[in-house]
């Protein structure tokens, strides 16, 4: 098979190139093996992009295999969400969908092979006794008092375990390797435990379940996986992975290769901690737009190509590092800048009456739908006597070098006229509720007045009679520090109190009524926003995906 050219290849691709050129393998088979006990996060996206990407690059195939060996924590909800996330990222497993539970019969048969060959035994010790007997890095382990049971006795007891004759936790099956091995994973690891739990696929057919280490490599072998890619925390498990392959009649011999996981600042990647955030209601669910889950990023409006590009940019190495959230957000902006349609929206409105504009008159303005993409065409929106601008774009007593609207000052309405503030209307509490302005008829879009004067301020706006009401949620980073896991405090102590701000009275350009749920657009001058799943025709809901620039970097530079 010909190897695709590449100016620079990571160590995994170099290994694959060598295996193909030497004839060790005729094609490449990878797999993505998630546990269906939670939602995937962006760290999993790196593995997805690597495994499925290699299959595409080398003309091979990538399997999706669910490691469903712990039914107490698994659910069909997670299976469905994982499938959806992978497909949304742009990958397809085709006919190669598998489950570890597909191999329960074979794994049980192979466990008996180990027992018959004197390489596995049933242990009656408790899990705590087993843990204590394993020793540590400086102390060898202690042999179990049940280690020398005969193969015949072990086989008989193991079959009785399968038949439900013993209580949960009363016995386990262990490999007989070496209790003095320098790698703790090789000190007679547990292969099976008794657990009466209803399985989402096999129901109540089994009351013993294999451990991950006894399942993973053999599943790879049964599927003829050539390169089993996993993150660095499994490097110390590789000797055990290979021990099983060497001591069982497997049909193929995969190679395990480890790479560094994706770490990201301003977030946590631990599935346990993400579950804690959900269960303790610190977030609204697994797909909360502040979560690093793929479903959360999708709901926030991140385009899948931005995540794929990010995974490609950070690359594949053997060295652990933490990637900057700003790099991911920059990639999101880059994709959205090219692809998203432009609209105007006013999030915190203040009303303006243009007193010299004829009552009842409506003027249609045409503007590019996306200046970066001429093929997107144009959009039309309306100008009228009453409009809304952002409250932050007006100041009654402005400082020097303030270029937006203020009493007696002029600004340009984006894509429209110069206006000048003539009068400020306040309520009984002294709050500004309306501005009376005049417009210059000599300043249509793109033109300065004939007398040559210019203005530096440009503000966006929407027509009051041609706007729609909406709720806008301003999402920011969930944690206020770069490393919420570090230090003595709980990661929960670092939750950003301003990670979401809801604005219920936004006014949007009327064209936004037709934008579909899940679509991300640009609010001019404000950022990129996605239509949330909570949105209805009566109440449009938009989530801020990312701002137009990195406000966090600017904030960090402040004294």
CATH number where 54 lies: 3.40.50.620
Q: Tell which of 226, 259, 292 closes a domain.
A: 259
pLDDT tens sequence across 367-405: 999 999 999 999 999 999 999 999 999 999 999 889 999
Q: Tell which of 194, 228, 259 closes a domain.
A: 259
If asked whether residues 251 and 362 sit together in one domain, one would say: no
If asked whether residues 372 and 226 sit together in one domain, one would say: no
Q: State the Cα–Cα distance between residues 441 and 46, nearest whole angstrom.
A: 56
Is a pLDDT exceeding 90 seen at residue 445? no
What are the tokens at 460? Answer: 């966006």
If asked whether residues 375 and 234 sit together in one domain, one would say: no
Q: State the Cα–Cα distance between residues 129 and 171, nearest whole angstrom.
A: 12
Q: What percent of the chain has pLDDT over 90?
A: 92
Count of beta carbons in the 10 Å neighbourhood of residue 184: 13
Angle at 103 between CA 97 and CA 104, to 5 degrees: 135
pLDDT of 449 reads 87
Is a pLDDT exceeding 80 seen at residue 558? no
Instruction: Say which of 9, 13, 35, 414 is annotated catalytic.
Output: 35
pLDDT of 553 reads 53
**Residue 322 falls inside a structural domain:** no
Range(s) of the domain holding residue 441:
342-556
pLDDT tens sequence across 487-542: 778 999 999 999 999 999 999 999 999 999 999 999 999 999 999 999 998 889 99
If asked whether residues 225 and 360 sit together in one domain, one would say: no
Angle at 476 between CA 473 and CA 480, to 5 degrees: 145
**Residue 325 falls inside a structural domain:** no
Contact 111/326 with Cβ under 8 angstroms? no
If asked whether residues 253 and 350 sit together in one domain, one would say: no
**Residue 270 falls inside a structural domain:** no
Q: State the Cα–Cα distance between residues 529 and 507, nearest whole angstrom.
A: 14
Which secondary structure element, helix H or strand E, spans residue 369, and what is its range?
A: none
Angle at 33 between CA 227 and CA 191, to 5 degrees: 95
Is a pLDDT exceeding 60 seen at residue 40? yes
pLDDT of 2 reads 42
If asked whether residues 141 and 30 sit together in one domain, one would say: yes
- Which residue is listed with tokens 């009524």? 513
Active site residue 261: yes
Task: Please report, for the domain that includes residue 357, its CATH number.
Answer: 2.40.240.10
pLDDT of 145 reads 98
What are the tokens at 178? Answer: 């070496």
- Exposed, middle or buried: residue 401 (CB in 10 Å: 0-12, 13-18, 19+)? exposed
pLDDT of 1 reads 41
Mean pLDDT rounded to a whole number for the chain: 94
Number of domain units in the chain: 2
Active site residue 525: no
Burial 456-466 (b: 16+ CB within 10 A, else e): eeebbbbbbeb
Question: 431 to each of 253, 396, 459, 488, how far by Cα in Å?
Answer: 75, 11, 21, 45
With H, G, I as helix, E, B as strand and everything else as coil, classify residue 195. coil
| pTM, 2 dp | 0.92
If asked whether residues 218 and 349 sit together in one domain, one would say: no
Mean pLDDT to the nearest integer, 178-188: 97
If asked whether residues 353 and 212 sit together in one domain, one would say: no
With H, G, I as helix, E, B as strand and everything else as coil, classify residue 530. strand
List beta partners, residue 380. Answer: 366
pLDDT of 488 reads 78
**Residue 267 falls inside a structural domain:** no
If asked whether residues 99 and 248 sit together in one domain, one would say: yes
7 or 48: which leads in pLDDT: 48
Mention every residue, 6+ apart, whose C-beta is less than 8 A from residue 89: 45, 48, 49, 294, 304, 307, 308
If asked whether residues 83 and 217 sit together in one domain, one would say: yes
Active site residue 375: no
Q: State the Cα–Cα distance between residues 437 and 440, nearest whole angstrom.
A: 10
Instruction: Say which of 196, 261, 312, 379 is annotated catalytic.
Output: 261
**Residue 323 falls inside a structural domain:** no
Instruction: Tally the C-alpha atoms within 13 A of residue 69's C-alpha that lie toward its C-beta.
Output: 24
pLDDT tens sequence across 119-145: 999 999 999 999 999 999 999 999 999
Mean pLDDT to the nearest integer, 166-184: 97
Contact 522/343 with Cβ under 8 angstroms? yes
With H, G, I as helix, E, B as strand and everything else as coil, classify residue 522. strand
**Residue 309 falls inside a structural domain:** no
332 or 551: which leads in pLDDT: 332
Q: Tell which of 213, 244, 259 closes a domain.
A: 259
**Residue 217 falls inside a structural domain:** yes
If asked whether residues 251 and 351 sit together in one domain, one would say: no
If asked whether residues 105 and 244 sit together in one domain, one would say: yes
pLDDT of 448 reads 84
Instruction: Say which of 46, 162, 238, 271 is annotated catalytic.
Output: 271
Is a pLDDT exceeding 70 seen at residue 411? yes
**Residue 247 falls inside a structural domain:** yes
Mean pLDDT to the nearest integer, 210-239: 97
pLDDT tens sequence across 412-434: 999 999 999 999 999 999 999 99
Contact 251/222 with Cβ under 8 angstroms? yes
pLDDT of 551 reads 62
What are the tokens at 316? Answer: 């594949």
Q: What is the dihedral of CA 42, 43, 46, 47, to 10 degrees?
A: -120
Q: State the Cα–Cα distance between residues 438 and 417, nearest whole angstrom.
A: 10
Which secondary structure element, helix H or strand E, spans residue 542, and what is its range?
A: strand 540-546
């Amino acid at each position: 098979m010909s190897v695709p050219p590449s100016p620079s290849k990571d160590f995994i691709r170099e290994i694959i190139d060598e295996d193909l050129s030497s004839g060790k393998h005729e094609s490449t088979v990878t797999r993505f093996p998630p546990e269906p006990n939670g939602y995937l996060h962006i760290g999993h996206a790196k593995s997805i992009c690597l495994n499925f990407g290699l299959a595409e690059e080398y003309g091979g195939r990538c399997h999706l295999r669910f490691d469903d060996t712990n039914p107490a924590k698994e659910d069909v909800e997670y299976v469905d969400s994982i499938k959806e996330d992978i497909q949304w990222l742009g990958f397809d497993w085709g006919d190669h969908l598998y489950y570890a539970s597909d191999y329960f019969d074979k794994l049980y048969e192979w466990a008996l092979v180990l027992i018959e060959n004197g390489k596995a035994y049933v242990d009656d010790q408790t899990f705590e006794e087993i843990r204590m007997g394993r020793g540590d890095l400086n102390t060898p382990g202690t042999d179990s008092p049940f280690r020398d049971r005969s193969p015949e006795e072990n086989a008989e007891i193991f079959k009785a375990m399968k038949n439900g004759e013993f209580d949960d936790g009363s016995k386990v099956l262990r490999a007989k390797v070496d209790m003095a091995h320098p790698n703790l994973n090789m000190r007679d690891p547990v292969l099976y435990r008794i657990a009466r739990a209803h399985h989402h696929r096999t129901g109540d057919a089994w009351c013993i379940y294999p451990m991950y280490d006894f399942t993973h490599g053999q599943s790879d072998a049964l599927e003829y996986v050539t390169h089993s890619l996993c993150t660095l925390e499994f490097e110390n498990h590789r000797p055990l992975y290979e021990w099983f392959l060497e001591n069982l009649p497997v049909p193929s011999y995969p190679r395990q290769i480890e790479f560094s996981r994706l770490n990201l600042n301003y977030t946590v990647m631990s599935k346990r901690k993400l579950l804690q955030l959900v269960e303790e209601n610190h977030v609204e669910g697994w797909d909360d737009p502040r979560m690093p889950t793929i479903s959360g990023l999708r709901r926030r409006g991140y385009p899948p190509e931005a995540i794929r590009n990010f995974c490609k940019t950070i690359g594949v190495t053997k060295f652990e590092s933490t990637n900057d959230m700003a790099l991911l957000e920059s990639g999101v902006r880059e994709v959205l800048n090219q692809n998203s349609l432009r609209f105007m929206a006013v999030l915190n409105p203040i009303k303006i009456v243009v007193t010299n504009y004829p009552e009842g008159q409506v003027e249609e303005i045409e503007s590019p739908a996306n200046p970066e993409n001429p093929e997107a065409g144009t959009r039309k929106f309306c100008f009228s006597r009453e409009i809304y601008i952002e409250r932050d774009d007006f100041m009654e007593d402005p400082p020097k070098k303030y270029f937006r609207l203020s009493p007696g000052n002029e600004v340009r309405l984006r894509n429209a006229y110069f206006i000048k503030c003539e009068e400020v209307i306040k309520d009984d509490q002294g709050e500004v509720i309306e501005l009376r302005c005049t417009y210059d008829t000599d300043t249509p879009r793109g033109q300065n007045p004939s007398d040559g004067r210019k203005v530096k301020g440009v503000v966006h706006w929407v027509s009051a009679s041609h706007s729609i009401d909406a709720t806008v949620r301003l999402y920011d980073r969930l944690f206020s520090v770069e490393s919420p896991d570090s230090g003595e405090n709980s990661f929960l102590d670092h939750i950003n109190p301003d990670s979401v701000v809801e604005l219920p009275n936004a006014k949007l350009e009327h064209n936004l009524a037709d934008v579909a749920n899940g679509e991300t657009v640009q609010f001019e001058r404000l950022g990129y926003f996605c239509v949330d799943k909570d949105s209805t025709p009566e109440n449009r809901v938009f989530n801020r995906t990312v701002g137009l620039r990195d406000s966090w970097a600017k904030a960090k530079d402040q004294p």
